[in-house]
């Protein structure tokens, strides 16, 4: 079945990405922080924000396996001076 092959290829691609991320974690730098947004697709559209110097890819992949979404961004050291 053609659609089954596409799914298998996608699973293999995801597995390769996961393996690469586990072998090559992002280096920890004291001056570099990340904000990780864990979004849950529920009635409340819950969001958990984590600030960290290291990204725990196993936790990220687990959240994705459970159907959630993840957004990762570097945290700027400068504060935002936005106008209201």
pLDDT in tens, 35-62: 999 998 888 889 999 999 999 999 999 9
For 6, the domain range is: 2-75
Percentages helix, strand, coil for the chain (3-state, rounded to 5) are 35, 25, 40
Helices (H), the chain: 2-23, 57-65
Length, in residues, of the chain: 84
- d(CA 25, CA 59) in angstroms, rounded, equals 13
37 within a domain of the structure (yes/no): yes
- Number of domains observed in the structure of the chain: 1
- Let me know if residue 83 belongs to a domain: no
Residue 22 forms part of a structural domain: yes
> What per-residue confidence (pLDDT) applies to 76?
75
pLDDT digit string, tens, across residues 18-33: 665 665 555 544 568 9
Q: How far apart are CA 72 and CA 9, in angstroms?
A: 25
This prediction has a pTM of 0.55
Other beta carbons less than 10 A from residue 21's beta carbon:
15
The pLDDT of 65-73, averaged and rounded, is: 94
Is 71 domain-assigned?
Answer: yes
Residue 81 has pLDDT above 80, yes or no: no
């Amino acid at each position: 079945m053609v659609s089954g092959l596409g799914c298998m290829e996608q699973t293999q691609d995801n597995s390769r990405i996961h393996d690469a991320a586990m072998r090559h974690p992002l280096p920890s730098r004291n001056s570099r922080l990340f904000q990780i947004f864990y979004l849950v697709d529920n009635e409340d559209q819950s969001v958990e924000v984590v600030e960290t110097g290291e990204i725990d890819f196993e936790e990220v992949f687990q959240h994705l396996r459970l159907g959630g979404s993840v957004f990762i961004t570097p945290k700027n050291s400068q504060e935002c001076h936005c106008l209201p």
